[in-house]
Structure 1
């Protein structure tokens, strides 16, 4: 359903930690003009864990209204409570999101059967396309390819964001799902290789600072041009790595503030990028050509 570069958009904030809607609107326009092919609002990078339910829904509504069907909007609506995830997913449907991205339940460490029943119940409760999101480095929970294969049979579960960085999972998942089930990567460092192996796109942190370059690299990968893909991705490799020197979205929000895109604000318990990393992240921005 969705292809190419999908930005895991930050939620810009003011100094008092309120959402900076003016900056958010500017970012949306920039991404649309830069070739980003979908907006993922209020995911991990959008600080979903520290927005309350009302803020969460308000940001999704704002993004949907401002994008105005020009590109798809995918709303992050996952939670470690099945009931809460249903409520967030219902909100996303009501405000007009094109799909939802649902992270595996974090902290409570469900079994594979628990993951299956959790996502199945949400899909049956809310009639909107849903994308599974597997990121065990943050959730202490790893959805196995076999569980993804089971869930792919649920009508409105349409894809998975696989953020393990394990490229062997591409072929494993493809063997277990139908041709209309989409595979997206959530690991910037291996994203183009993931797409070249048969993936359909990536939900990218790096796209927050280099949307046009990421879109070009992903489009080349979708076209199967491996040489062009790697050539385009090469200047971005430092960013793919250095934007994770501290927990996401700490480095990327600092980088965007350095570029003048947003204010240098982030919500506790996250804190601004530690000073020893400033030159490291700045150097990666310069290397990629997005900061002089």
Structure 2
């Protein structure tokens, strides 16, 4: 039987940088990935939600994989995003196999709100289309019951479950019933907000949006959480996480565009450009984010042992 390893800890989700004409800036994309790796993230998940999968065609998708592999060079696992409609998802898994990535994150089906047997067949079909690792992302049109997840657990390629809904009662049922069958990943928007609760029910891994621009904060936050340092966790909440969270809630789509704004503020070569229907960050919110990042840099940017900030 194949031994499958799955990334743990803080997972990196690079954006897909856009030029002013909304074509993809592949050099900026590679810089984003290099930044994440140098700052200690254990894996990169390309062309997922933060990477605007819904707005990328298959030719661009393949180029993102090629460009990612050029810069990663085997240092960390690469996962892709797949999903939307089943035909496109299977084309994406085929490209993922062709370019020998570690696995893929299955995003929800487009538009349709399926029944539980429909969700099962959607995830099963995508998962069994290759021998790569698969991670299912519960959110939007892919919300499952315990019975559905138990059926999916019989598929060996499915190695992890990522939650983006926040139903703690359901998550307790999942983790207590299935235990270490899956790696449990917190995929809530700005996951640092909810991570203390998720840790207590069996989740030890999460995707961090703010790692794209202030990775030293997410690293120090997670280490403080693991070490039981409630004072530092509280301080990081008050100084950084809650203020960013409050901006993010101002407009739908900010879960993506706010990342790009933060990256631009810290000097990474990423413009504040997003493809519709996502809207760019408004200037008022951009300036507020700039103040938060300046405060974070001053207070947490040079703390030894909490993750080194590398921007080159």
TM-score, normalised with respect to structure 2 = 0.84
The corresponding residue for 1:209 is 213
1:251 pairs with one of 252, 255, 258: 258
1:147 paired to 2:128: no
Shift of 1:171: 1.8
Q: Can you list the C-alpha shifts for 1:16-43, whole angstroms capped at 9, x where unaligned?
A: 2121121122222211111111111111
CA contact (8 A) 2:14 2:29 kept: no
CA contact (8 A) 1:185 1:194 kept: yes
1:60 paired to 2:65: yes
The corresponding residue for 2:306 is none
Q: Which range is displaced more, 240-249 or 29-38?
A: 240-249
Q: Which range is displaced more, 49-58 or 210-219?
A: 210-219
Q: Can you list the C-alpha shifts for 1:213-271, whole angstroms capped at 9, x where unaligned?
A: 213333454x4635377257424322244334321212221222222211222212323
3-state DSSP of counterpart to 1:160: strand
1:23 pairs with one of 20, 28, 33: 28
CA contact (8 A) 2:10 2:207 kept: yes
Larger radius of gyration: 2
Q: What is the alpha-carbon distance in structure 1 between the residues aligned to residue 234 and residue 43 of structure 2?
A: 23
The corresponding residue for 1:273 is 281
1:230 pairs with one of 224, 230, 233: 233
1:104 paired to 2:108: yes
Q: Can you list the C-alpha shifts for 1:183-231, whole angstroms capped at 9, x where unaligned?
A: 101122212431343212111212212223213333454x463537725
2:78 pairs with one of 66, 73, 77: 73
CA contact (8 A) 1:161 1:203 kept: no
Q: What is the alpha-carbon distance in structure 2 between the residues aligned to residue 20 and residue 82 of structure 1?
A: 28
Q: Can you list the C-alpha shifts for 1:119-170, whole angstroms capped at 9, x where unaligned?
A: 111122111100001122xx4x423343223212211001111011333343
The corresponding residue for 2:162 is 161
Q: What is the alpha-carbon distance in structure 1 between the residues aligned to residue 150 and residue 223 of structure 2?
A: 26
Shift of 1:4: 0.7
The corresponding residue for 2:16 is 11
The unaligned stretches of length 5 or more in structure 2 are 1-5, 302-312
Following TM superposition, the consecutive aligned residue runs of length 4 or more in structure 1 with deviations greater than 4 angstroms are none
